[in-house]
């Protein structure tokens, strides 16, 4: 317990600039379709991302059915298995997770939590969403062209991705690459907005060190995305040229179908470097917003200040910086110089230090807190488990000698689904349960929420934990069927069937969640402005849901950090950020703990 209010200041500094001018739309279309309101854009982003994410979920179920019951069900053929692997990975990583964290939660929470009227550039923000939608449509179009979507795996390694014989090498890969380029353009528009709003658009009294960690996480992730996506953009453009014009950036001299190709002298490794220079920061682009949100969920629902706020901020910054110098640990088996492997193993293991610091701080925040096991809190605690689990198997894979035999086995699948898929998705669920009352004005049903949590949480363990053992047994990933493969023991098959059944159960639980979202929109309990009794600014808006402009006539002034929970001697167990020290209601008996006013 901290003994006083943390650095609360008696008054807010004077305003540096005038108010932002907002364009208030008059028509329905201006309000909800071509909307320039960050909150509407956030919902557009989130709904689109969820919709495409459900497509990817269905793809994964089809793959699981094939793996679990290879001889009894013939839903998909080997080509479509590869195509589904590719689309599932790409959609989940880029079009769902990146879009929902930055475009969805970023748009909704940054202006509200910073105390801004809107994003800095509302028009650009609107464009960002429509360009994103175009990229999603382009991606989906890949399913319907001639030979279907690309089947090169989500990493799209050339020369395979653009060579004849790979599914989708004619049309699917082109649409995939164009879609990625369009996504990057759209994301850049949004990303510039988020960063400028956090840096330059905060309200009076909101210093960077008073930002909720959610904003810190999203902010740092956006900065990283702005620096990492260019590498993917370049890789995508070069590969498009290789495919369409016959240039040889990535294409070495090859024999295909017994004939010598016309391309020669290119470097497939160059693609891998460019891809992973994007791909590794991408992991943290997804993870850092999750880190931030989970910090706020834990502090709010444990009614306790976050442990080591400054270190949490610095850890976010350091993780962001380090993530740019670890990319080649994805390439230990690519044929790089072994010295490279040594260097990148070292940097990779160093990332564990700030990450572990964050985990310790979350646990220490929970320690002796007044823990309310609400649905958001359950998901936050679930995240701690899956994240630590996935992080620990990451330590295995970070070492070259351990990675080489495990690479391309189910161990890797288990690891990254644990750390990068389940962990952030649990946070997304927690965040939706947490902020849904602000977005709609109604609570989500808690009973359904708890069922959803337990099935999802235990179910994901049932799915991904056995995969580690499959990997240790040497089962390779991306295989359509194992047949009579000598080194794959028979018992693998029963484990695969078990995993498939677990996956089906977890997927069914998501239907429950969707039902909850729809039902609560109309029938949910009225939430009121601040149902969780939280301190941050989004809960202090005059209207719920907040209207265009967020804060009514006057922007809030900020006097304190966002974690004044359970301050001794104060009547309520929380003090919102916009309450000045002189206005805090205190208990008469508690004169001793008033250090904050000195």
Partner 1 sequence: MADRRTSGPTLEPGWRGLVSDLASDQRAFKGVPWSKAMMWLFLLSDIFIFACFLVGYMQVRITTPEPWPSASEVFALHLGGRDIPLLLIAIMTFILISSSGTMALAVKCGYERRRLATGGLLILTALLGASFVGMQAFEWTTLIHEGVRPWSNPWGAAQFGAAFFLITGFHGTHVTIGVILLIVMAAKVVRGSLAAERPGFLTRRRGRYEMVETLGLYWHFVDLVWVFIFAFFYLW
- Judged by the rule CB under 8 A, the positions of this chain that interact with partner 1 are 7, 9, 13-17, 21, 23, 120-124, 188, 191-193, 195-196, 199-210, 226-231, 233-235, 237-238, 241, 245-249, 262-267, 270, 273-274, 277
- Omega within 30 of 0 (cis) for the link into 457: no
59 or 211, CB closer to partner 1?
211
227 or 254, CB closer to partner 1?
227
Contact 38, 118 (CB under 8 A): yes
CB 379 to partner 1: min, Å:
31
Shortest CA distance to 301 belongs to which of 584, 24, 565?
Answer: 565
98 or 440, CB closer to partner 1?
98
112 or 502, CB closer to partner 1?
112
- Omega within 30 of 0 (cis) for the link into 543: no
In angstroms, the CA 354 to CA 364 distance is: 15
245 or 255, CB closer to partner 1?
245
- Residue 574 phi/psi, 5-degree rounding, is -150, 150
Q: What residues form DSSP beta bridges with 260?
A: 255
CB 513 to partner 1: min, Å:
36
CB 397 to partner 1: min, Å:
26
CB 116 to partner 1: min, Å:
10
3-class SS string, 275-298: HHHHHHHHHHHHHHHHHHHHHHHH
Contact 537, 12 (CB under 8 A): no
Shortest CA distance to 576 belongs to which of 544, 550, 540?
Answer: 540
50 or 193, CB closer to partner 1?
193
CB 595 to partner 1: min, Å:
13
203 or 520, CB closer to partner 1?
203
CB 338 to partner 1: min, Å:
19
Cα→Cα distances 403→267, 395, 398, 412, Å: 24, 10, 7, 9
Question: Can you tell me whether residue 532 is helix, strand or coil?
Answer: coil
Retrieve residue 549's tokens.
């402009």
Q: How many CB atoms lie within 10 A of CB 75?
A: 12
CB 535 to partner 1: min, Å:
17
126 or 426, CB closer to partner 1?
126
CB 538 to partner 1: min, Å:
18
Cα→Cα distances 85→281, 391, 482, Å: 22, 23, 16
What sign has the CA pseudo-torsion 382, 88, 159, 249? negative
């Amino acid at each position: 317990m901290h003994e006083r209010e943390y650095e609360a200041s008696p008054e807010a500094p004077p305003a540096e600039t005038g108010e932002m001018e907002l364009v208030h739309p008059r028509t329905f279309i201006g309000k909800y379709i071509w909307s320039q309101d960050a909150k509407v854009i956030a919902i557009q982003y989130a709904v689109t991302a969820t919709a495409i994410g459900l497509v990817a979920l269905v793809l994964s179920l089809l793959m699981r059915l094939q793996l679990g019951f290879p001889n009894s069900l013939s839903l998909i053929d080997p080509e479509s298995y590869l195509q589904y692997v590719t689309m599932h990975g790409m959609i989940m990583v880029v079009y769902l997770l990146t879009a929902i964290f930055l475009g969805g939660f970023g748009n909704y929470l940054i202006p509200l939590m910073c105390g801004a009227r809107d994003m800095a550039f509302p028009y650009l923000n609107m464009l960002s969403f429509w360009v994103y939608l175009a990229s999603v449509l382009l991606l989906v179009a890949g399913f319907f062209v001639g030979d279907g979507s690309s089947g090169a795996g989500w990493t799209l390694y050339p020369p395979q991705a653009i060579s004849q014989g790979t599914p989708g090498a004619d049309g699917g890969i082109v649409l995939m690459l164009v879609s990625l380029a369009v996504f990057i353009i759209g994301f850049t528009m949004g990303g510039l907005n988020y960063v400028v709003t956090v840096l330059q658009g905060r309200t009076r009294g909101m210093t960077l060190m008073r930002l909720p960690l959610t904003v810190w996480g999203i902010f740092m992730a956006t900065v990283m995305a702005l620096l990492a996506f260019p590498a993917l953009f370049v890789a995508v453009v070069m590969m498009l040229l290789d495919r369409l014009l016959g240039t040889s950036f990535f294409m070495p001299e090859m024999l295909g179908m017994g004939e010598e190709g016309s391309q020669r002298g290119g470097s497939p490794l160059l693609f891998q470097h460019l891809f992973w220079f994007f791909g590794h920061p991408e992991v943290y682009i997804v993870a850092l917003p999750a880190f931030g949100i989970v910090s706020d969920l834990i502090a709010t629902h444990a009614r306790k200040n976050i442990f080591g706020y400054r270190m949490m901020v610095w850890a976010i910054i350091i993780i962001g910086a380090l993530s740019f110098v670890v990319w080649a640990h994805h390439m230990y088996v690519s044929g790089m110089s072994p010295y490279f492997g040594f260097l990148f193993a070292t940097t990779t293991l160093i990332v564990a230090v700030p990450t572990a610091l964050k985990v310790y701080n979350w646990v220490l925040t929970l320690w002796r807190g007044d823990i309310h096991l609400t649905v958001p809190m359950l998901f936050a605690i679930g995240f701690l488990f899956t994240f630590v689990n996935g992080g620990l198997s990451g330590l295995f894979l970070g070492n070259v000698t351990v990675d080489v035999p495990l690479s391309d086995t189910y161990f890797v699948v288990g690891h990254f689904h644990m750390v990068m898929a389940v962990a952030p998705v649990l946070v997304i669920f927690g965040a939706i349960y947490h902020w849904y009352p602000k977005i709609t004005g109604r609570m989500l049903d808690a009973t359904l929420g708890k069922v959803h949590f337990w099935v999802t949480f235990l179910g994901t363990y049932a799915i991904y934990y056995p995969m580690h053992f499959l990997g240790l047994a040497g089962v390779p990933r991306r295989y359509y069927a194992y047949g009579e493969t000598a080194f794959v023991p028979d018992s693998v098959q029963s484990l695969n069937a078990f995993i498939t059944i677990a996956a089906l159960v977890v997927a069914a639980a998501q239907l429950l969640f969707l039902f909850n979202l729809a039902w609560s929109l109309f029938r949910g309990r009225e939430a009121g402005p601040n149902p969780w009794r939280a301190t941050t600014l989004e809960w202090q808006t005059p209207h719920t849901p907040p209207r265009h402009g967020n804060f009514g006539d006057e922007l809030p002034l900020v006097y304190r950090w966002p974690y004044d929970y359970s301050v001794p001697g104060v009547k309520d167990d929380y003090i919102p950020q916009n309450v000045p020290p002189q206005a805090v209601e205190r208990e008469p008996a508690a004169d001793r703990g008033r250090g904050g006013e000195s």
